[in-house]
Amino acid sequence: MRMPVVWSERHRLHEPGGEVWVGVRTPGTELPERAERIRAELADARFVEAQEQADDAVLAVHDRALFDYLARAWSDWEASALTEDPGQDRVVPYLFPHPGLFTGFEPVAPAAVSARAGQFAYDTMTLIGPGTWEAARAAVDSAVTAADLVLGGEPAAYACCRPPGHHATRTCFGGSCYLNNAAAAAARMSSGVEGPVAVIDVDAHHGNGTQAIFYEDPRVLVGSVHVDPGAGWFPHFLGFAAETGGGAGAGANRNVALAPGTGDGPWLEAVAELADWARSGGAEALVVALGVDAAGGDPESPLEVTPAAFRAAGRTLGELRLPTVLVQEGGYDLGTIGPLVRETLSGVEEGLGQTTS
Ligand code: SP5
Ligand code: ZN
């Protein structure tokens, strides 16, 4: 592998400690071991330490209120002794200030720490523990460092980061994501090129956070291929083909939803469709939201994509011949996550016309 792999040890500080799903605390899926397996698979690559970024790198894509909440969420939780009574060792929301509660006014910040989480979390599965904020910042650092490497002349760079980011919007978090790493990389790339930046999201789930962040922004084209939310899959409410962008960003968003059980052929056609769309939209840089959970055998998605198709998808994306930042998203089968990432990155290098090992 030629491209640099950006890495931060700080990812390990985030241990989700489980997911509360339909009220039941189940084992976590977004585990530190995921990144370690990828690192082991890419051991012969050139590793680059993530550079700490100023708050601006986060605030380019998130509201100050979400930033401030996440920065303090754990220490506030601990200080309020919720760890003792009722004995909850992670921040878990219990009440959500649904828009239907308010008749034309904004909710106040609640006094109780236990009530605050629901103002920013949109699900119960995305828990916050002692090192979550530091690890989420490190993931943004990794993605933005990869963008800087590419702006500095590397044809491509890969951010081997976690927690993932593509489900986090400007104002709220969920889907195992806290800060939107790929969006932060796209914002950085956008500052370095004249024309639009394309984000192509191949994670098995719709990249609803990235879509929301850039929905009205014509300078960032956001395309996602994913399992059909209409067939009962996360994020359930978003990811439909009718979501095509709004305002000045009309036409700058594209979703391709695939039926559960879909395999290589239609998935690769969708990747090619998004690549063509980015090309015809005049994209001058590419950010790939690289989840590998569309693979057959992944416990979190019903798509059935093979390792060979991940390589072919990489090739298609590389053939755009754009400055390319790849940012890790999902992928939950520890036995295959490393090889799937390696196949994709090798395909990108083939597409870019670089020799690969
Ligand atoms: C980044 C990413 O791939 N996030 C995906 C989050 C989707 N999680 C949906 C979980 C739905 C319930 N899963 C049941 C397993 C309980 N442990
Ligand atoms: Zn996913």
Give catalytic status of residue 167 as yes or no.
yes
Q: At what angle do helices 337-351 and 307-318 cross, to 10 degrees?
A: 30
Alpha-carbon 110 to chain mean position:
29
Please report the atom of ligand 1 found closest to the CA of residue 332: 3
pLDDT tens figures, 93-135: 999 999 999 998 999 999 999 999 999 999 999 999 999 999 9
Q: Are 206 and 235 in contact (CB under 8 A)?
A: yes
Q: At what angle do helices 32-41 and 337-351 cross, to 10 degrees?
A: 50
Q: Which of 166, 167, 205, 226 is catalytic?
A: 167
pLDDT band per the 50, 70, 90 thresholds, residue 308 = very high
Starting at the edge strand found earlier in the chain, the sheet holding 220-227 runs 47-49, 5-7, 156-159, 324-328, 285-290, 197-201, 220-227, 253-258
The residue whose two tokens read 């939803």 is 257
**Rounded CA gap, 18 and 27, in Å?**
4
Q: Please give the share of the chain, as a percent, with pLDDT higher than 90.
A: 98
Mean pLDDT, rounded, for 49-63: 98
Ligand 1, atom 11: nearest CA belongs to which residue? Answer: 234
> What local confidence, expressed as pLDDT, does residue 68 receive?
98
Helix (H, G, I), strand (E, B) or coil at 328: strand
CA–centroid distance, 68 to ligand 1, in Å, is 26
* b (16+ CB within 10 A) / e for 260-283: eebebeebbebbbebbebbeebeb
Q: Is the CB of 26 under 6 A from ligand 1?
A: yes
> What local confidence, expressed as pLDDT, does residue 356 receive?
52
Work out the mean pLDDT of the chain and round it to a whole number.
98
pLDDT band per the 50, 70, 90 thresholds, residue 194 = very high
Tally of residues, the chain: 357
Q: Please give the share of the chain, as a percent, with pLDDT higher than 70.
A: 99
Residues 6+ apart with CB under 8 A from 45: 1, 3, 4, 5
Neighbouring CB atoms inside 10 A of 198's CB total: 30
Q: Quote the DSSP letter at residue 321.
A: -
β-pair partners for 25: 20
**Rounded CA gap, 335 and 41, in Å?**
11
Phi, psi of 286 (to 5 degrees): -130, 135
Nearest Cα to Cα of residue 163 among 289, 57, 35? 35
> What local confidence, expressed as pLDDT, does residue 14 receive?
98
Torsion of CA 221, 123, 13, 141, to 10 degrees: 20
Q: Is the CB of 329 under 6 A from ligand 1?
A: yes
Please report the atom of ligand 1 found closest to the CA of residue 330: 3
Mean pLDDT, rounded, for 311-336: 98
pTM: 0.98
Mean pLDDT, rounded, for 301-325: 98
> What local confidence, expressed as pLDDT, does residue 355 receive?
66
**pLDDT at 197 exceeding the cut of 70:** yes
220: its two tokens: 């960032």
Please report the atom of ligand 1 found closest to the CA of residue 19: 17
Ligand 1, atom 6: nearest CA belongs to which residue? Answer: 175
The β-bridge relationship of strands 24-26 and 19-21 is: antiparallel
Concatenating the DSSP letter of every residue in 130-141 gives TTHHHHHHHHHH
* 26 to 16, 134, 212: CA distances (angstroms): 11, 24, 28
**Rounded CA gap, 235 and 215, in Å?**
17
